[in-house]
Amino acid sequence: MAICLLGINHKTADVNIREQFTVAETDYAEHLNHLCHHPEIDSAAILSTCNRTEYYFSTPSVSRLLNALDDILEFNHQADYVYLKTDQQCAAHLFSVSAGMDSLVLGETQIQGQVKRAFDEAKKCNINSELNKLFQLAFKTAKMVRSETEIGRNPVSVAHCAVQLGRQIFGSLDEQNILIVGAGETAELLIRYLINHQATHITVSNRSVERAQKLAGHFSANTLPLDRLPHNLADFDLIFTATASPVILVNHQAVNNALQLRKFKPMVLIDLSVPRDIDEKIKNLDDAFLYTVDDLEAVITKNMHRRQSTLEEARRIIDAEAALLNQWLQSRKHHDLLKQYQQKVAGLKKQVLTNNGAEKLPDDWQEKINTVAHQLSQKMAHVNMVAMKKVIDSGNQEHIDLIADLFDLDGSHEI
């Protein structure tokens, strides 16, 4: 089995494209069940965040999978913004993602939980040895990178940078009325960062009132029912949204009405969701300032410089672990050669015994001759088996093909 990755991220596509392919975590199971019923997919995993949507596959044939993928996913794998990676490249990419090295914010930690949830959903559906090994090594590598390099020091996140942007605009946050739409992990991070910067007037709104109340209760914040959002927008100076809603939650008309009630006092809206929660036409309003995750890049750049020096060291760790996985994958692809050779030796032994009339001998003689023949054939085959295993473990395809030809074995495997 080969492993491969098909995906898009913040480096290859802007939010307008990314939001077309996003998959809510609650929908992972449905998508995975659909994918794993296809004959060219032995196992699959989905990782979808505000910055990326990636599909990981274990497949008998990458070329045949690609021919089928456009129909399976409605995902044009030849589009400029789509990337395809196989085996070692696929592993190195996931290891970088898990370590926070491929994130919009270098070294951010939120991605670790997102990768873990992607793995957990894949396990519930159907995960084979190849993908299980891939994700387990990703967790191990991410831990190594964070413990052995500076990338894990003073972690930041997109939520952190969103709050920094708010501080750049308003200066102090202690007098601003702040609304957070959402009650998940990102919403909690936003509140923690806001409180660290002396924000005191925080309100949480969410579709689930219970979740909003639970989150707000931890921080002595207020709550607002989501259906009251359009009517109460005028009360807020700074609005963050971080939900998995498939539809717009803050529309142009609601913001326009709010600005009139505020007598056109400026309002700042920061949308951290993909798909987006806030209507992009709001940018056309004079006193509304809308930012998306893509707009945070300028803020984030300042935080990147102190981490850049660690990239080379982290990359060495990732490349070494990816090479180990590739070696394991290659041995998996060719382990059938050993089985073929064992079967060939057993067949030759049986043929020699039959040709020499062993079956016509008394039972006790047959047993003795079979035992001697078995021991002799195994002893002679052992030297070859050890040599073959060394060649297979080396991953040298030219030598593996030579071994297959030498012993007349079928070493073909389409990838």
Q: Is 187 annotated as a binding residue?
A: yes
Q: Is 54 annotated for ligand binding?
A: no
Is 146 flagged in the annotation as binding? no
110 in a labelled binding site: yes
221 known member of a binding site? no
Cβ atoms of 287 and 237 closer than 8 Å? no
Q: Cα–Cα distances in Å, from 192 out to 178, 184, 215, 240, 402?
A: 13, 13, 11, 13, 61
Q: Catalytic one among 4, 36, 50, 90?
A: 50
Q: Based on DSSP, count helices (H) and strands (E) in the chain, helices before strands.
A: 15, 10
Which pair of tokens denotes residue 131? 């993908």
103 is in an annotated binding site: yes
- The answer to the question of whether 51 is labelled as a binding residue is yes
State the distance between the two ends of the chain, measured CA to CA, in whole angstroms: 8
**Is 107 part of any known ligand binding site?**
no
Which DSSP string do the residues of 29-90 spell out, in sequence order? HHHHHHHHTSTT-SEEEEEE-SSEEEEEEEES-HHHHHHHHHHHHS--TTSTT-EEEEHHHH
What count of residues does the chain have?
Answer: 415
* Catalytic status, residue 90: no
Say if residue 114 carries a ligand binding annotation.
Answer: yes
Residues linked to residue 240 through DSSP beta bridges, in sequence order: 180, 270
Residue with tokens 């957070």: 180
- Does the annotation flag 7 for ligand binding? no
The Cα-based distances of 30 to 25, 34, 43, 275 in angstroms read: 10, 6, 14, 19
Task: Please give the Cα distance from 275 to 50 (Å, whole number).
Answer: 8
For residues 322 and 334, what is the distance between their CA atoms, to the nearest angstrom? Answer: 19
Does the annotation flag 108 for ligand binding?
A: yes
52 is in an annotated binding site: yes
Residue ranges of the binding site: 49-52, 103, 108-110, 114, 182-187
Residue ranges of the binding site for NADP(+): 182-187
Residue ranges of the binding site for substrate: 49-52, 103, 108-110, 114
By annotation, the residues acting in catalysis are 50
